[in-house]
Structure 1
Amino acid sequence: MSSSSAPSAAPSENPASEDPPSEDPAPEDPASDGSSDDPLARERSHLAASRAALRAMREDVESLDIRDVTANWVNAEALAHQIDERIKSLADLAHTPLFFGRLDYLHAPGADQAEGAEGEKFYIGRRHVHDAEGDPMVIDWRAPVSQPFYRASKKDPMDVALRRRFGYTGGDLTAYEDEHLSDPTEAARASKLLQQEIERPRVGPMRDIVATIQPEQDEIVRSGLSGTVCVQGGPGTGKTAVGLHRVAYLLYAHRERLARTGTLVIGPNASFLHYIEQVLPALGELEVKQATVDDLVAHVEVRGTDDPAAALVKGDARMSEVLRRAVRSHVTMPTEPVVVVRGSRRWRVPAYELEEIVQELLARDIRYAAAREALPQRIAHAVLVRMEQQGEAPDDRVQDAVARNAAVKAAVKAIWPPVDPAKLVLRLLSDADFLAEHAEGILDEDEQKAILWAQPGSGKRAARSVKSARWSAADAVLIDEATDLVQRTHSLGHVVLDEAQDLSPMQYRAVGRRCTTGSATVLGDLAQGTTPWATPTWEEALAHLGKSDAVIEELTAGFRVPTDVIAYASRLLPHIAPGLTPVASVRENPGFFAVRPITGPSDVVAACAELLVNEGSVGLIAADARIPALAEALTAAGIGYLGPGEETTHETRLTLVPASLAKGLEYDYVVLDEPRAVVDGEPDERTGLRRLYVALTRAVSGLIVVHAAPLPEQLG
């Protein structure tokens, strides 16, 4: 391996990413312009030419005149929006490298190697760039021809003679590094530029990792759209980045299909979504929506909370059967015939025949509203049969008219009345008899009492209306389930579910409804489950999601957390997730790690000030109850700080993070305040130790653990 550099640095971001197949045009050889004998100068020349070409592509779109193209203002607005999105996707981000690598093939891709076809050079970047003649200058990292950049090795060079990585400093190309993959005389060596890129400071929100995707990550990223993938990954393994790059890959490989069906990224909270929101736009993907599970089920305003016992029962998958029974209980078997008057004739459908129709619809187990819509047509069909038996020849218009007949409509209203999902759940939670009737054999008496709002001596007050009810987050999920029982939920083409280990079975069902006809990428770490209903196994979680056939992959190579830090945190694994493989850090830099006794908040502030001397971001993570006192101490010391999720819009480098919001976030340096308080802030010790494991593994470069109280004994 050879390298050359000015002050070197590397492109992109941390390791974990994805790639979809598509374009494989052959780019020109920019190094053949004869502008210089200096390879670095030639590469800089190609970078400048590529940026100019991208600018020209953007100007071409900006100059489009659509005044005489569309037939009406609606079409004009839609086309203008598409053009605006295209212009945004062609933005040249000054500090984001346009390309980060080059592949020199031995033969032209697709050519018969026996013919000795001359190889070509392909520059690999975040997006496709072509010149005025349409010849590619940069190939999208997701194209098939780019795949060897991530997977080729000395053992399997994939017809690549040379892989070149580029290093950047502040957007300027300052270094390159070559691997002669097909040269048997050159020994394989680790890439210094790759290691620099993996370990460079994380200032602000998450960045893409497109330049550092590892082979095992690339395999997940490029897996097909039809199958669901579950990724178990410990801290720093890049599972979130893998999921986001997988979305970008799928949009590249299946753009038309996903444009019709839609994609969605689901995160645990708004802070997390703010943290990751720039990754996909940096890859040119602007149309992917992001939401939390609470956003998906926002049928009512959530103003209340549940105690752990109630939340556990409400989140249990058994509640789906309770709700199904309650919805179907609204169907009443007919006891009177339906008599339809048309002109001078009266047509009678007896009660026993109506019951047969109702029983057949119930047996089909279709959505409640769909069956209700079918019922009048079934009754009308029974009338038409009688008409035909009497020698008449009714057509479809007659059947529709009969279905709208007042007598038929009255019968449908009595037999199959409309159901309001929120009112149904309100009654279940407020009416002990109604709940007992439909929970019989499913929930025991104590479980029913746990979720009832009104009962003697409980202190809970029954709501009189949907609007006055103090709905909890778990109640909203129940309403979502009931809504789906009434009317089918729209399915998307692909859903990415991150931090999935914290979802309840009913929440999994809510997400699964959003991808019943599509696929999903499920990301999480069983060791980081911090809810009372945290996922015990991925097999169980995937069954609730409706994706039992999903492939489960495990990432164990840690690219983000330093060796000393992950080794310390892994002391907790035998107590919180004994079956999981500990993460093995592959970082060359062992990182800074210290455990310090303190006497008060001033020592915590001093530790923050010490770390702020370094380049990069600093997170002060503490038990939620200790956040106000630490905020006061920071303010008194004149040290500015932000809250989680605010890092995207401020230059302040210190973030004060409640332990409950730390999951999924990362900082170059972390001060972890009082581990014992983090553990004690949770309902039980195991959940507290898992919360501590999360907090310990947020650091990218260094960690200082400060404590006045004794450390948890599980840390040794």
Structure 2
Amino acid sequence: MPAHAHPHPAHRDPVNPLDRERAHLAASRAALATMRADVEALDITDVTATWVNAAVLQHQIDQRIKALADHAHTPLFFGRLDYLHAPGGEPADDDGANQRYYIGRRHVHDADGDPMVIDWRAPVSQPFYRASKNDPMDVALRRRFGYTGGELTAYEDEHLTDPAEEAVGFASKLLQAEIERPRVGPMRDIVATIQPEQDEIVRAGLGGTVCVQGAPGTGKTAVGLHRVAYLLYAHRERLARTGTLVIGPNRSFLRYIEQVLPALGELEVAHATVDDLVAQVNVRAEDSTAAARIKGDARMAQVLRRAVRSGVAMPTEACVVVRGSRRWRIPAYELEELVHELLARNIRYEAARAALPQRIAHAVLVRMEAAGEAPDDRVQDAVARSAAVRATVKAVWPQVDPAKLVLRLLSDPGFLAEQGEGLLSPDEQKEILWQKPARSVKSAPWSAADTVLIDEAADLVERTPSLGHVVLDEAQDLSPMQYRAVGRRCSTGSATVLGDLAQGTTPWATGSWPEALAHLGQRDARIEELTAGFRVPREVIAYASRLLPAIAPGLAPATSVREAPGSLEVRKAGHDDLEAAVLTACREALSREGSVGLIAADARVPALVDALAGADLAHLAPGMATSLPEPGEATSAEPRLALVPASLAKGLEYDYVVLDEPTAIVDAEPDERTGLRRLYVALTRAVSGLTILHAAPLPPALT
């Protein structure tokens, strides 16, 4: 413990600094309440021209009121910086007030507009995360605060310019206590514990895409969400126009993370899965592994491109436009030149189709001018809308319905063979063809991979609108075609890509980030690697890392700054006693504070549901993440035990994990490598303790 640390309220200096900090907290809360009351008191009765304007303004006011909520159990500020100099460069005054800043989740000012709490994203707050003994960044003192509930109970100081004091770094007791605080409910923000290497990613500019390779427990998901919060702070107007989106692997994961941004005051960020993005038809079927892999292959983009353009036909007849007593004839060879020109321009199918009548009309106007007439733009538009031109366009460049096109591709062997020639082998074509041709889009046996194909075709027809910034989490599991679907949503913006190659559990999981980023359309992205773990105890991550040579030979094992003796226990049980042993381990975990996750192979879940019910152990249904309680609401009413199928464990975390039958998790996957990756995910969900129960022999790497 450094000489200036004060981890307990009993350790006070003669001027009672803890009491002074509590007084500032109380004053800040009062100021926040005043800010909220001022917004609530706004009268917009006579300031809007229409009811639409009034509704929009009222919505903005309601959102502002919501953002100014003061949650009693959430610390309003978590740190303090005392600079050597005030912003203007002058030295500190006698009490240091002119260069003292309290760092918190949102900005708070007093009645005069002077800041009482500085937003963690503001430039003046950056040294709280970056300053060190080697580079103090003009900071004399960094103070961290400890809370119990909403009450300020402790503080800890680092004098960064005092050569006699040792560097604290991660040795900070309050920092470690915050990271190890028991987890009840969904994912929390890490705003008080962001480390320098994480902060560099969080504050990276909006102009470029960042890809984060992060081992379990390195905080990559939290870093990505805090990056969104930072970008919304630094580029609010731009992103308000273009939008932001967080993409996760499943709805359970999105429920788990959805409260992080609201806790930071950001309410206007959408959440979705990749399936949500491309949902244009009802999914009613499931592909074989081989079919899904082929449909997810990047070659399908070229097959679809051919299919979209396959309907374009070269003109065989002239287009004759009648204007008054004159007939204007555009011969077939000239029409063919126009079609070839539009095909060569590589523009969207529908944009080219809209341009073709104007090109034909222009050719007519050239003839009119040569004949001595003086047509204007209105004449050109009229010619473009004429029956003769419309008939020519319909015959040459027909409309394309993306869903109907994909339906034909998967139903018609001849059409697929024509479009897939040289791209897909006959066996691959046979694999993805439906056994029974579908008659309509509504009745077709669509799979999840088919919806991605429809989305690709739709983009080939008309450009998909782009957002300003997209966060893609658990990205290692996407197929190339899914990467393309996400990339379309940020084609003119940027992205934050988060993942871990060792946790890729789909048959089409990406092999390298450069390859994935190429499919995403972000080849110039900056790739960062997080290897220092803060969540998973050292003993647990070391045990799980035994699998790395088999599942991701190129990745270095993650390290952990947290040593927790006794955090890992492996128990062997008899086949008939396994469920009883699991129940015993769950009871032991529930006797401690915090959340408990019982992770098992999907096929084992029904038996465990019955076992938990028979033992009267309340638990959350499989796949359900807890919801954030309202301020002041007790969390004990909700079960602390969650039964988690292994297929849904990715991205989640629990204080204690009971892992049921590792071999069953491995055997449930189509191949051993994918199974071991699924097991690696399950092994790394624990924050404080992991208990492994097995009756079957463990995988050789873990024995």
Change (3 A) 1:541 1:337: same
**Which letter does structure 2 place at the counterpart of 1:165?**
R
Residues 195, 588 of structure 1: 8 Å contact kept: no
Q: Match of 2:529?
A: 554
1:590 Cα deviation from its structure 2 partner: 3.9
**Given the alignment of the two structures, is residue 526 of structure 1 paired with residue 507 of structure 2, yes or no?**
no
The answer for the alignment partner of 1:11 in structure 2 is none
Q: Which residue of 2 aligns with 1:479?
A: 454
Distance 1:117 1:41, change over 3 A: closer
Q: Equivalent residue for 1:568?
A: 543
The whole-number CA distance in structure 1 between the counterparts of 2:439 and 2:372 is 55
CA distance in 2, matches of 1:188, 1:419: 66
Name which of 581, 595, 603 aligns with 2:556. 581
Q: Which of the numbers 66, 77, 92 marks the counterpart of 1:99?
A: 77
Tell me the residue number matched to 1:225: 206
Deviation at 1:111, TM superposition (A): 2.1
**Structure 1 residue 602, shift from structure 2 partner:** 1.4
Equivalent residue in structure 2 for 1:147, among 126, 130, 133: 126
- Using the alignment, how far apart are the partners of 1:605 and 1:74 within structure 2? 58
Q: What CA deviation, in whole Å up to 9, does each residue of 1:648-696 have, x standing for no partner?
A: 1662100000000000000000000000000000000000000000000
Partner of 1:665: 652
Q: Per-residue displacement from partner, 1:273-311 (whole Å, max 9, x unpaired)?
A: 000000000000000000000000001111110001100
Is 1:124 matched up with 2:124? no
Of residues 582, 599, 609 in structure 2, which corresponds to 1:621? 599
Which of 686, 690, 700 is matched with 1:713 structurally? 700
**Cα deviation, residue 109, structure 1:** 2.8
TM-superposed CA distance for 1:94, in Å, is 1.1
1:541 matched residue in structure 2: 516
What does residue range 155-174 of structure 1 map to in structure 2 within 5 Å? 155-174=134-153
User: 1:639: which partner in 2?
Assistant: 617
Listed as ranges, the matches of 1:52-451 within 5 Å are 52-111=30-89, 120-189=99-168, 190-451=171-432
Q: Judging changes above 3 Å, is the alpha-carbon distance between structure 1 residues 495 and 428 closer, same or farther for their aligned structure 2 residues?
A: same
Amino acid at match of 2:210: V
**Offset of residue 48 of structure 1:** 0.4
How many residues end up aligned between the 2 structures? 683
Contact 1:109–1:145 (CA under 8 A) maintained in structure 2: no
Percent of aligned positions with the same letter in both sequences?
A: 78
CA shift at 1:217, angstroms?
A: 0.1
Q: Residues of 2 paired with 1:577 and 1:377: CA distance?
A: 55
Please give the secondary structure, in 2, of the residue aligned with 1:123. strand
Q: 5+ unaligned residues in a row in structure 1: which ranges? A: 9-35, 454-459
Partner amino acid, structure 2, of 1:44 = R
Q: Report the counterpart of residue 482 of structure 2 in structure 1.
A: 507
Equivalent residue number for residue 3 of structure 1: 5
Measure the CA separation in 1 of the matches of 2:93 and 2:694.
Answer: 70
Q: Is the 8 A contact 1:258 1:493 kept in 2?
A: yes
The whole-number CA distance in structure 2 between the counterparts of 1:37 and 1:565 is 44
Of 491, 501, 507 in structure 2, the residue corresponding to residue 516 of structure 1 is 491
Alpha-carbon distance between aligned partners in 1 of 2:373 and 2:301, rounded to the nearest angstrom = 47
Please report the RMSD computed on the Cα atoms of aligned residues, expressed in angstroms.
1.5
Offset of 1:187 from its aligned partner? 1.5
Structure-1 separation of matches of 2:92 and 2:194: 32
Cα contact 2:92–2:99 (8 A) shared by 1: no
Amino acid at match of 2:223: V
Q: Structure 2: where are the runs of 5+ without partners?
A: 629-636
Residue identity in the other structure for 2:85:
H
2:631 is matched with none
Distance 2:464 2:138 in 1: 48
1:39 aligns with 2:17: yes
Q: Is the 8 A contact 1:339 1:349 kept in 2?
A: yes
Q: Is the 8 A contact 1:157 1:182 kept in 2?
A: yes
Distance in 2 between residues matched to 1:543 and 1:117, nearest whole Å: 55
Q: Is the 8 A contact 2:86 2:92 kept in 1?
A: no
Contact 2:84-2:92 within 8 A present in 1 as well: no
Q: Residue 668 of structure 2 aligns with which residue?
A: 681
Superposition deviation, residue 116 in structure 1? 13
1:488 aligns with 463
Q: In the superposition, relative to structure 1, how do residues 542 and 113 fare at CA in structure 2: closer, same or farther (>3 Å)? A: farther
Q: 1:116 to 1:634 in 2, by over 3 A?
A: closer
Preserved CA contact (<8 Å) 2:9 2:18: no
Q: Cα 1:594–1:114, aligned 2, differ >3 Å: closer, same or farther?
A: closer
Could you tell me whether the CA contact under 8 Å between 1:111 and 1:117 is conserved in 2? no
Aligned match of 2:582 in 595, 600, 604? Answer: 604
Distance in structure 2 (CA, Å) of the matches to 1:376 and 1:393: 20
Give the AA of the match of 2:488. Answer: R
After superposition, give the CA deviation of every residue in 1:395-454 in whole Å (9 maximum; x if it has no partner). 11111111110111111111111000000000000100100001001011111111011x
Shift of 1:7: 6.7
For the 8 Å contact 1:367–1:488, the answer to whether it is kept is yes
1:517–1:112: structure 2 CA closer, same or farther, 3 Å change rule? farther
* In structure 1, C-alpha distance between the alignment counterparts of 2:175 and 2:579, rounded to whole Å: 39
2:634 counterpart residue number: none
Paired residue secondary structure (1:137): strand
Taking structure 2 as the reference length, what is the TM-score of the superposition?
Answer: 0.96
Shift of 1:6: 3.9
